[in-house]
Amino acid sequence: MPTFFPRELQNLVERGRDRQLRLAVTGLSRAGKTAFLTSLVNQLRHAGLEARLDLLPAAREGRLLGAQRVDQPDLSVPRFPFDQAMAALDAKPPTWPNPTRGISELRLSIRYRPKRSSLLGSETRRLSLDLFDYPGEWLLDLPLLEHDYLSWCLIQQQTLGSERRGLMQDWLAAVEDISPEDEADEARLATIAEAYAQGLRAAREAGFSDLQPGRFLLPGDLEGAPVLQFFPLPGLDGMDPKQLAALPKRSVYQTLARRFAHYQRHIVKPFYREHFRRFDRQIVLVDVLGALNAGPERFADLSRALSALMKSFDYGKRSLLSRLFAPRIDRLAIAATKADHVTPEQHANLTTLLEALLAEPLKDLRFANVPVKALSLASIRATEARELTRQGQTQPVLKGTTLEGEDTLIFPGEVPPRLPDDAFWARQGFDFTAFRPLPRASGALPHIRMDAALDWLIGDKLR
């Protein structure tokens, strides 16, 4: 049984009266977490005024009265930098907000009229919505709990495709000289671990997602601590596990295994215990278009990363997660972001491609009876859809301004409705252009299907 602190007790009471909801937003680096959360807060604050939220019944029916930012309950969690994000969008020219690092939080108090009582008159209610934003990379560390150091080393070999081997070159060269039975030299292990972390960072820069351990990418206050100075030893597959286990305490193998275990216990578990198990709803953002643009190795890598990430939502009774932390997320959304970067008739394909990408994990989730919805959206729409008529033929196009400031009219290509095959990659049929945000006209940010996401995530609480 968990112990309840007074605040948690109060939260429980509010939850009992259906008045509190903890909604978490995650996604791999560059999936658009900051834009999503900024837009979500912006839409709810402008609900009942300029915001277009027709797919959210409470808004459509005029029952959503607005939202205020109020004090967040967790004083040690950084506040989500909403004002800074809006300032970036309001800059001239507008820019995308800076990405957040680590976890952040913001609490909204939403005022609405319940559906039934609208007959009776002016009764209003409040819903406390706690919003959390955290790196999807942290979820990639969950599968790490299922491993001991040896099995983790073996499985990490699979991540090394030819492109990633190239990015890991320095590390591969450094780790070659080291044997599991060598006496551990602290400085040398630190050097090799730093090469490993640099390889992971380079892979992320190059668009890869399946990167473990996740904290190596954002070490924060743990920079330079031995707990972040391990790496998978190559060449263990031919070795006898018993012999490895019998190596002396000061051997390279045992030292790295100790650090791996410390990482599991003091880095991975605390996130699930202190944050994750308290979330009620979750949305996972996925940059499908970016991966599509980056080629087959990175697309396969995204697929692997998403499968790993989705394990955090598989609450089958026998899952590792349920045994360890008893999480309670009761509704999940998975969204392909940046839908405004393709023409509207491609949106349906974008959603089915996302579903294809997640086919295996979605099966598991449905089997485990976790309600999940896949959709495509644009948190902050940066383009306008137009049609171009040339020689009697009509072609849908996007009008927008590139990051470099050039006004442009383009057709980025077709999104395949299922997992792309070799023929697709051979055609190189997709040409993704990044756009800067539109200059802001009204108070509410333009979007695509943010209201559908909101309806799925919080709509039932606004009845």
> Should residue 83 be labelled a site residue for a copy of itself when binding is judged by CB under 8 A?
yes
- Least distance to a copy of itself, CB of residue 248, Å: 13
- Looking at the Cβ atoms of 227 and 329, the one nearer to a copy of itself is 227
Instruction: Pick one of 120, 187, 426, 441: the residue that binds a copy of itself (CB under 8 A).
Output: 187
Instruction: Pick one of 24, 47, 77, 174: the residue that binds a copy of itself (CB under 8 A).
Output: 77
For residue 347, which amino acid is it?
A: H
Q: Are 328 and 315 in contact (CB under 8 A)?
A: no
Query: Residue 440 and residue 90: Cα distance in Å, rounded?
Result: 7
Query: Residue 66 and residue 58: Cα distance in Å, rounded?
Result: 11
**Crossing angle of helices 169-176 and 186-205, rounded to 10°:** 160
- Least distance to a copy of itself, CB of residue 355, Å: 36
- Least distance to a copy of itself, CB of residue 227, Å: 4
> Should residue 154 be labelled a site residue for a copy of itself when binding is judged by CB under 8 A?
no
- Least distance to a copy of itself, CB of residue 375, Å: 30
> Should residue 89 be labelled a site residue for a copy of itself when binding is judged by CB under 8 A?
no
> Should residue 220 be labelled a site residue for a copy of itself when binding is judged by CB under 8 A?
yes
Name 29's Cβ contacts closer than 8 Å, sequence gap at least 6.
99, 135, 136, 137, 204, 209, 217
> Should residue 72 be labelled a site residue for a copy of itself when binding is judged by CB under 8 A?
yes
> Should residue 431 be labelled a site residue for a copy of itself when binding is judged by CB under 8 A?
no
Stretch that binds a copy of itself, among 70-78, 277-285, 299-307, 383-391 (CB under 8 A): 70-78
Instruction: Pick one of 1, 71, 389, 441: the residue that binds a copy of itself (CB under 8 A).
Output: 71
| Residue 87 CB-half CA count within 13 A | 5
- Least distance to a copy of itself, CB of residue 243, Å: 22
Return phi, psi of residue 106, to 5°.
-155, 135
Residue from 100, 109, 97 nearest 41 by CA: 109
Query: Residue 67 and residue 46: Cα distance in Å, rounded?
Result: 8
- Least distance to a copy of itself, CB of residue 351, Å: 35
- Least distance to a copy of itself, CB of residue 427, Å: 45
> From start to end of 72-194, where are the E strands?
104-112, 125-135
> Should residue 86 be labelled a site residue for a copy of itself when binding is judged by CB under 8 A?
no
Burial classification of residue 35, based on how many CB atoms lie within 10 Å of its CB (0-12 exposed, 13-18 middle, 19 or more buried): buried
> Should residue 443 be labelled a site residue for a copy of itself when binding is judged by CB under 8 A?
no
Instruction: Pick one of 50, 186, 330, 406: the residue that binds a copy of itself (CB under 8 A).
Output: 186
Stretch that binds a copy of itself, among 38-46, 252-260, 330-338, 397-405 (CB under 8 A): 252-260
- Least distance to a copy of itself, CB of residue 220, Å: 4
Q: Is 104 helix (H, G, I), strand (E, B) or coil?
A: strand
- The residue behind tokens 């020219």 is 93
- The residue behind tokens 């277009």 is 52
CB atoms closer than 10 angstroms to residue 438: 18
Instruction: Pull the structure tokens for residue 9.
Output: 């007790």
- Looking at the Cβ atoms of 221 and 387, the one nearer to a copy of itself is 221
- Least distance to a copy of itself, CB of residue 254, Å: 11
In what side-by-side order are the strands of the sheet with 104-112? 64-70, 104-112, 125-135, 20-27, 281-286, 331-336, 372-376
Site for a copy of itself, rule CB under 8 A:
69-72, 75-79, 81, 83, 102, 104, 184, 186-187, 190, 220-227, 250, 255, 258-259, 262, 266
